[in-house]
Structure 1
Amino acid sequence: MKYNGFPIWICALFSLFALSQEKKAGPILENYGAVFTVENPDYKTNVNEEFKVVFDVATGPDSHEEINKQIETAARFLNMHAQNGVPVSQLKAALIIHGSATTNIMTNEAHQERFGVPNPNAEMLQNLMDNGVEIILCGQSSNSRNVPKETLIPGEKIALSAMTALIQLQNDGYRLIKL
């Protein structure tokens, strides 16, 4: 039997491969941070270690209606490791926001007022903070891009600078991932 000129068994095999390659979000952030399953990796993840990471997020998307994929990296980090057996208590993450990503962490109201649309990152940022991720804005970017503390989502913090926060977190054992 054939489908579009191909034997049915080839179509079925392709369908199974396609299904196995689907990304899945959760269990920490259900709506963000979908990742692929990696079956039997050669380099095994040590699920007994603490994973402390700081993401250096300096770039925002071109559109004010798109989520910042660099911010979503923190959701992928959490979901990927939780899906693969690392206890949530061993996952520590922080986002240092500066540069053109600065306006991506504003409240819906402030974002709407400035850009005419709600902040597409607001829900994701709240979910990240609800799961222990620190969101830290560079104080220099806050001032140079006119994003004062009162326009930030409650719980986000302002540091003296991105450089200062990156140094302090690395001194506390966080590993830097430059995006």
Structure 2
Amino acid sequence: MKTPASILLTILLNSPLALSAEFSKGPVIKNYGGVAEVKQTVPLSGQERFKVVFDVSDQGDKDKANRRFESLARFLNMQARAGVPPEQIALALVVHGKAGFDLLNDQQFEEKFGAKNPNAPLLKALQEHGVTIHLCGQSAAYHRIENTHLLPGINMALSAMTANALLQQQGYTLNPF
């Protein structure tokens, strides 16, 4: 049996009046990567240097940017707001599995899914900020994705395993999210 207090708590938590964080985009990637302001107990110094690889195998929705790709925009925006200059951040995106379809150029994406690739503007913005993008050649071969099917600037790797290993040898750490 629910008590009046538990009923009230349920109403408050599900209410539009419930406390929630405000997420906003920018300052590095303007239209993607919404983040919340956080009062850190151990603030960043601004001297940090990041080399991070994001590994993505899940394909996004056909009508909006892949949320996993948007994680790179969130990372850039979050660190910039915390005082880390973007030039101190190097990011790489390694894509494999069905997520490879999210790297198709508009013509190929439209032939396959009936619309322009919603990932194209995000990927272009990430590349403009130095993000390198690598597609697993093994996944591409399996899904019959050719180099000419890809958006500009996508690197075809021998495999995702190889790309991740090489990036780690270059000092990149793997982001587990």
User: What does residue 8 of structure 1 align with?
Assistant: none
Q: Which amino acid aligns with 1:54?
A: V
Does residue 25 (structure 1) correspond to residue 48 (structure 2)? The answer is no
- Displacement after TM superposition at 1:158 (Å): 0.5
State how far apart, in whole Å, the 2-side matches of 1:43 and 1:124 are: 31
8 Å Cα contact 1:27-1:83 kept in structure 2: yes
The root-mean-square deviation of aligned C-alpha atoms, in Å, is 1.7
How does 1:48-87 map onto structure 2 within 5 Å?
48-61=47-60, 63-87=61-85
- Displacement after TM superposition at 1:65 (Å): 1.7
Task: Give the structure-2-normalised TM-score.
Answer: 0.86
Q: Which amino acid aligns with 2:90?
A: K
- Displacement after TM superposition at 1:36 (Å): 0.3
User: What does residue 9 of structure 1 align with?
Assistant: none
Structure 1: any 5+ residue segments left out of the alignment? 1-13
Partner SS for 1:103: helix
Q: Which amino acid aligns with 1:34?
A: G
State how far apart, in whole Å, the 2-side matches of 1:75 and 1:148 are: 26
User: What does residue 132 of structure 1 align with?
Assistant: 130
- Displacement after TM superposition at 1:33 (Å): 0.3
User: What does residue 101 of structure 1 align with?
Assistant: 99
How does 1:152-171 map onto structure 2 within 5 Å?
152-171=150-169
8 Å Cα contact 2:43-2:82 kept in structure 1: no
- Displacement after TM superposition at 1:85 (Å): 0.7
8 Å Cα contact 1:53-1:175 kept in structure 2: yes
Instruction: Give the paired residue count.
Output: 162
8 Å Cα contact 1:48-1:86 kept in structure 2: yes
State how far apart, in whole Å, the 1-side matches of 2:83 and 2:155 are: 30
Q: Which amino acid aligns with 1:107?
A: N
User: What does residue 38 of structure 1 align with?
Assistant: 38
Structure 2: any 5+ residue segments left out of the alignment? 1-15
8 Å Cα contact 1:57-1:178 kept in structure 2: no
- Displacement after TM superposition at 1:108 (Å): 1.2
Q: Which amino acid aligns with 1:30?
A: K
User: What does residue 7 of structure 2 align with?
Assistant: none
8 Å Cα contact 1:159-1:165 kept in structure 2: yes
Q: Which amino acid aligns with 2:46?
A: V
State how far apart, in whole Å, the 1-side matches of 2:57 and 2:43 are: 31
User: What does residue 112 of structure 2 align with?
Assistant: 114
Deviation sequence 1:115-173 (CA, Å, 0-9, x none): 11111111000110111000100000111011111111111100000000000101111
- Displacement after TM superposition at 1:43 (Å): 2.6
